[in-house]
Amino acid sequence: MDLYLTGKTALVTGASKGIGSAIAKELAREGVKVFVTGRNQQSLDNLSSEIVAEGNLAPIVFAQDLLAPNAPHEIATAALAALGHIDILINNAGQSQPVDVAGPEEPWTRSMALDFERPRLLTQALLPHFIARKEGTILNLTSTYELRSLNVSAIAKAAMAMWSKQLAGQLGKYGIRVNCLQPGLIDTENIRPYFPGDERRKYAESEIPLQDFGEVQDMANMAVFLVSPRAKYITGTVSVVDGGGTRSAF
């Protein structure tokens, strides 16, 4: 199926590994010129080499800590300068952040910033551009938030889902779509430490109908569809890719 993405441009955060890296590669396979960012220059350079080795357009690599002062503005400015215009923004950078019930403040501040405030500010920096062009697609990576223990990232992602929904309501008239993509458990460095040894198999067999964690490619497949013109009537949604793990009707 042609996704009609050839010739489009995309900015992907957290593209140096995991889900973001898979999304960037899949977009490049669809003919998209990608601007990839993350902290690790070497990993971004490796991603660039892999994309080029597959015969696709070389990405623009921009190493930047999203938590650094002024980072959203700097990423937005660099991406616009390099790409000329931006069709697709994928806010993917993030990190699981379990905390104790009475723990210190620092992980709260850091994780709320990384998983909500910084993507919000990056999006806001690009909104005048999207509105002026009367087009643009925003995809925000969220999380399972109905947990039974504190994880700041999941709380930040819950805020992100509500923000996305409200933004979608206001931006539809400009032809701009905003959606969320919610992973269940996807096999990346972000979650591997929490399931050592045989824990992954035991958890998956009891909690995931499809019996295992997902792969980053499972996320990339859904992401490229959601940002493509094929999804032109989809906005304000949260798409779940979780092997059936979520126990709720909606």
Ligand X SMILES: NC(=O)c1ccc[n+]([C@@H]2O[C@H](COP(=O)([O-])OP(=O)(O)OC[C@H]3O[C@@H](n4cnc5c(N)ncnc54)[C@H](OP(=O)(O)O)[C@@H]3O)[C@@H](O)[C@H]2O)c1
Which residues lie below 8 Å from residue 211, measured CB to CB, with a gap of 6+? 204, 205, 243
The stretch near ligand X (CB under 6 A) out of 39-47, 82-90, 198-206, 232-240 is 39-47
Cα–Cα nearest to 89, from 181, 227, 228: 227
Burial class, 228, CB count within 10 angstroms (exposed 0-12 / middle 13-18 / buried 19+) = buried
Q: Residue 176: how many CB atoms within 10 A of its CB?
A: 21
Burial class, 138, CB count within 10 angstroms (exposed 0-12 / middle 13-18 / buried 19+) = buried
Is residue 72 involved in binding ligand X (CB under 6 A)? no
Is residue 92 involved in binding ligand X (CB under 6 A)? yes
Which is nearer to ligand X, 127 or 220 (by Cβ)? 220
CB of 223 to ligand X, least distance (A): 11
Which is nearer to ligand X, 66 or 155 (by Cβ)? 66
Is residue 48 involved in binding ligand X (CB under 6 A)? no
| Contact indicator for 115, 91 with CB cutoff of 8 Å | no
Is residue 119 involved in binding ligand X (CB under 6 A)? no
Which is nearer to ligand X, 136 or 183 (by Cβ)? 183
Per-residue binder mask for ligand X (CB under 6 A), 3-32, x = binder: -----------xxxxxxx------------
Which residues lie below 8 Å from residue 1, measured CB to CB, with a gap of 6+? 230
Which amino acid does the sequence have at 209? P
Cα–Cα nearest to 26, from 178, 216, 204, 161: 216
Per-residue binder mask for ligand X (CB under 6 A), 129-158, x = binder: ------------x-x---------x-----
Which residue in 57, 67, 82, 131 binds ligand X (CB under 6 A)? Answer: 67
Distance of alpha carbon 195 from alpha carbon 241, whole angstroms: 19
The stretch near ligand X (CB under 6 A) out of 4-12, 59-67, 168-176, 202-210 is 59-67
Which is nearer to ligand X, 131 or 150 (by Cβ)? 150
The stretch near ligand X (CB under 6 A) out of 47-55, 64-72, 73-81, 221-229 is 64-72
Per-residue binder mask for ligand X (CB under 6 A), 183-212, x = binder: x-xx-xxxx---------------------
Q: How many residues does the chain have?
A: 250
Helix axes 71-83 and 118-133, enclosed angle (nearest 10): 40
The position carrying tokens 């590994």 is 17
Which is nearer to ligand X, 146 or 233 (by Cβ)? 146
Site residues (CB under 6 A) for ligand X?
Answer: 14-20, 38-40, 43, 65-67, 92-95, 114, 141, 143, 153, 183, 185-186, 188-191
